[in-house]
Amino acid sequence: MEHSPPIFHVLMILVLWTVVTAAFIETAEGHRHHRRGGSETELEAFHYAAAGAGGCRAHVASLTDFGGVGDGVTSNTAAFAAAVANLSKVACDGGAMLVVPAGRWLTGPFNLTNHFTLFLDHDAVILATQDINKWSIIDPLPSYGRGRDAAGGRYSNLIMGYNLTDMVITGNNGTIDGQGETWWKMFRNKELNYTRGYLIELMYCKQVLISNITLVNSPSWNVHPVYSSQVIVSGITILAPVNSPNTDGINPDSSSNVRIEDCYIVSGDDCIAIKSGWDEYGIAFNMSSKHIVIRRLTCISPTSAVIALGSEMSGGIQDVRAEDITAINSESGVRIKTTIGRGAYVKDIFVRRMNLHTMKWVFWMTGTYGQHPDDNFDPKAIPVVRNIIYSDVVAENVTMAAKLEGIPGAPFTGICIYNVTAEVVKSKKPTWNCTDVEGVSSHVTPTPCAQIPEYPDRITHCPFPEDDLPVDCVGLEECSYWRTNP
Ligand SMILES: *[C@@H]1O[C@H](CO)[C@@H](O)[C@H](O)[C@H]1NC(C)=O
Ligand SMILES: *[C@@H]1O[C@H](CO)[C@@H](O)[C@H](O)[C@H]1NC(C)=O
Ligand SMILES: *[C@@H]1O[C@H](CO)[C@@H](O)[C@H](O)[C@H]1NC(C)=O
Ligand SMILES: *[C@@H]1O[C@H](CO)[C@@H](O)[C@H](O)[C@H]1NC(C)=O
Ligand SMILES: *[C@@H]1O[C@H](CO)[C@@H](O)[C@H](O)[C@H]1NC(C)=O
Ligand SMILES: *[C@@H]1O[C@H](CO)[C@@H](O)[C@H](O)[C@H]1NC(C)=O
Ligand SMILES: *[C@@H]1O[C@H](CO)[C@@H](O)[C@H](O)[C@H]1NC(C)=O
Ligand SMILES: *[C@@H]1O[C@H](CO)[C@@H](O)[C@H](O)[C@H]1NC(C)=O
Ligand SMILES: *[C@@H]1O[C@H](CO)[C@@H](O)[C@H](O)[C@H]1NC(C)=O
Ligand SMILES: *[C@@H]1O[C@H](CO)[C@@H](O)[C@H](O)[C@H]1NC(C)=O
């Protein structure tokens, strides 16, 4: 492949993890200002922000170079596989971008490669095949021991990154459509023998950016970074029917240094769910989810949480920071869910500036969630829930301010709630219902339960970390490629 194929004229704008070495910065700088020929008006632009040590890519190809046909009918599984196999050869030579042009590109599951960008043009739609035989069975996640829907393995994920470094999925807001209806129907009818696949799964990956795309109708979860680190999800839209089963938005799972920002999610389940493995399998695997920041999220989740922690949390969840969260018509704002047998902990959870409208519960904690992978869980594995901090929350039209239920004999402690106003609609239910929880509050309306007493004079705020996470320091700059209109 040529360094710059005839139809692509490359303007390089540097993007880096700021933590990379000077050598990497020089390489990327060397690629700058490579724009050639043509004036902007004659050109079609592909802008994206890269987030890898290699910055923007040296090689560019189109799915059509590999026999892709965007008619919505022809299968592109072989074209994607051929493209990725071919472009993986230049991973160490500046990396590659694969452009999916306007069109409807039917495909089965495919894997990505290192130092790679998958770019979806504005009118590009990647359509997941509804032919179940095209979704091969892969091993269950080691930290779950079995599939989440059913024992044994699980169906492949549509787009999978496995053991990768420096990978970007982005575009001019192109779409990945999971065509999940057939899966939801089979799931509801209990016809599936294996767990449904996810739309995007990153497993053992680092330096990942997913941005400026729209995901619709996933068979199950949408974005699943697992055993991964340095993951940024920015400016994506996720849409699923609000009654579709388990269509969680973004689920960081045993992953660290994750930054989720400026996303809009409508989901049949949690908008964000942070997890880390299931009972004895998760305890043995012992990989936590930590250093996670969520900001400027807008969520609609009528049957579930805006941000959930658990219920699978057996590797531990620590240091989650969420701010500037808007939700309407959602069941709960923040929900912590765990159960005896999970072990590990959920601790140091900070949430501030939530604006919520029409909710069942603003805050919800459950220590008796149940749901075990099998009967071999350890009844002595009692999860610890500690240091849960909520401040500056306004909620309108809510049924109950909070339902906080810890574990008898192992209360959830260190809860701090400050400056929260919940406008509770008239109902027979208590506005607060607390069992086995301990904490303090200040400036909270309606008056909290006795377990979270108010100290308006003593408590002038609840803490929120002021330091930046390493993933906060990652600068995103633009890469731009220009293609002459054919
Ligand atoms: C695949 O890569 C090779 C070089 O490694 C190149 O010669 C060839 O043209 C590429 N194939 C396509 C379809 O681009
Ligand atoms: C998203 O797209 C906009 C507009 O093209 C671009 O300026 C921005 O850098 C992109 N952001 C990311 C994170 O890809
Ligand atoms: C993707 O990679 C994983 C891990 O190597 C493998 O199990 C799976 O079969 C691959 N999927 C496809 C569609 O090639
Ligand atoms: C992927 O990474 C995991 C964890 O580092 C390792 O156990 C596994 O062997 C790797 N697989 C491949 C195919 O490289
Ligand atoms: C991307 O497309 C979705 C679905 O059409 C739309 O809701 C969203 O507003 C678009 N985002 C941007 C930034 O244009
Ligand atoms: C599940 O297994 C049963 C029994 O082997 C089989 O009849 C059925 O077709 C399978 N379902 C699916 C969706 O593959
Ligand atoms: C999990 O790993 C941490 C160190 O990362 C260790 O301190 C802890 O004891 C381990 N937990 C279990 C249950 O093995
Ligand atoms: C308030 O919430 C109820 C559901 O509890 C909903 O039916 C109603 O439309 C909401 N009212 C407003 C003004 O949003
Ligand atoms: C309370 O929270 C609201 C909403 O986030 C904010 O506007 C206000 O400044 C906060 N007040 C104090 C005293 O922190
Ligand atoms: C409060 O919650 C507990 C445990 O979840 C439940 O058993 C009890 O009925 C609730 N109390 C009221 C008054 O709703």
Structural domain contains residue 286: no
Structural domain contains residue 338: no
pLDDT for 475 equals 82
Ligand 7 in contact with 286 (CB < 6 A)?
yes
Residues taking part in catalysis: 269
Give nearest CA residue, ligand 1 atom 6: 1
Residue 443 alpha carbon, nearest atom of ligand 9: 13
Ligand 5 in contact with 173 (CB < 6 A)?
yes
- Count Cβ atoms within 10 A of the Cβ of residue 209 and give its class: 0-12 exposed, 13-18 middle, 19 or more buried: buried
Residue type, 146: R
Structural domain contains residue 456: no
Tell me how many domains the chain contains.
Answer: 1
Alpha-carbon distance of 122 to 346, in angstroms, equals 40
Most confident of 9-13, 22-26, 35-39, 415-419: 415-419
Count the Cβ atoms, other than its own, within 10 Å of residue 483. 21
Tell me the per-residue pLDDT of 440-450, one tens digit each, with 9 for 90 and over: 999 999 999 99
Residue 110 alpha carbon, nearest atom of ligand 3: 13
Ligand 1 neighbours by CB, cut-off 6 Å: 1, 61, 65-66, 86, 89
Structural domain contains residue 448: no
Task: Give SS3 for 453.
Answer: coil
Give nearest CA residue, ligand 6 atom 3: 193
pLDDT for 483 equals 61
Structural domain contains residue 277: no
Question: In which band, very low, low, confident or very high, does the pLDDT at 428 lie, cut at 50, 70 and 90?
Answer: confident
pLDDT for 480 equals 76
Average pLDDT over residues 36-62: 59
**CA dist list (Å): 344 to 157, 283, 390, 418:** 28, 7, 22, 27
Average pLDDT over residues 197-210: 97
The more confidently predicted of residues 36 and 432 is 432
Out of 2-16, 399-413, 470-484, least confident range: 2-16
Q: Which domain holds residue 479?
A: 7-269+465-484
> Can you give the pTM of this predicted structure?
0.92
Structural domain contains residue 450: no
Structural domain contains residue 475: yes
Question: In which band, very low, low, confident or very high, does the pLDDT at 343 lie, cut at 50, 70 and 90?
Answer: very high
Ligand 6 in contact with 176 (CB < 6 A)?
no
Alpha-carbon distance of 462 to 415, in angstroms, equals 9
Tell me the per-residue pLDDT of 93-117, one tens digit each, with 9 for 90 and over: 999 999 999 999 999 999 999 999 9
Contacts of 431 (CB under 8 A, 6+ apart): 400, 401, 402, 422, 424, 446
Tell me the per-residue pLDDT of 286-341, one tens digit each, with 9 for 90 and over: 999 999 999 999 999 999 999 999 999 999 999 999 999 999 999 999 999 999 99
Secondary structure (DSSP) of 419-443:
EEEEEEPS-SS-SEEEESEEEEEEE
Structural domain contains residue 399: no
Ligand 8 in contact with 329 (CB < 6 A)?
no
Alpha-carbon distance of 163 to 443, in angstroms, equals 48
**Domain CATH for 153:** 2.160.20.10
